[in-house]
Structure 1
């Protein structure tokens, strides 16, 4: 019985992800998700309590998986600049998968719903923790991060990605190319520190 319940919840989460990518958060209804999942509407309320709980569950599941991916990637012995380039590659994967859209939609919804905003910030903190660990590694390796603390540098990089993602989602090609190029140029800066000529 619990296995079937888990399968139903998973089907609902997959339908919510599909509907969110197609319709966006504001236009997504629990009835539409129920139809996409092939379940009664009551199942969404039973498993998730409603639309917001459903989308948060979807975001939390994706967020945990992707933070673990980043932690694993940054935990290797590969040079920092190559790991940063991999992070830029992961951005492309995360845009294609819809994760970035879901995250940005929930951030926007959190502007007018403080409780939701706190939950989204808690998820973002996991990313900033990983980035700060990497910045501490860089500080230990290079001896100094200039005027920045490891936390400052982690915040600057994390916020650059978040802002860049928002601009990319607007769909204007020139700005999208500019964002991608700017983010990748940071990898080249790291490379110059790691491999001075």
Structure 2
């Protein structure tokens, strides 16, 4: 048998450690455009974020940053990916755990939104984080009818189509879209009131 011995016990203090930050892409649809919440500090425009404090969970740090930096509360962001390029922050070694949350526009303070494709020149690698967040949401909306429930409990097919076009950034064929989403919907007995012409049937998620 080989004479294998464990390495001597080493203190964690012997290893260099990065600072850990959280940054969150808050996305919504406003005026038929996919938009993002941006905040500004002395370095420029960025996604809401902060450094994680000692004894704090990532989730708590995200909620604190949204409350303190963007004035938003009551959201449930999800982790997106860790951005760990050594040179991503010129202040030092900083790893960011990026998060994503999609919310109705009414959940965001007025004036906080920017069309995502107009969000240029963001600090650090926040444009990369935003791009990944947008790609993630677009993939989810391509696979299911309004998975984030931005439209509420009942909606018309036209409202659903316009929402998906806003998320995808392109026009969608009505017939193809209808065939794709109908299996996941249930037609109600109600129609949309107050519209000129034939009333539109209201649907809900199955």
The structure in which a higher percent of residues are helix is 1
Task: Report the TM-score when normalising by structure 2.
Answer: 0.28
Larger CA Rg, structure 1 vs 2? 2
Task: Report the TM-score when normalising by structure 1.
Answer: 0.29
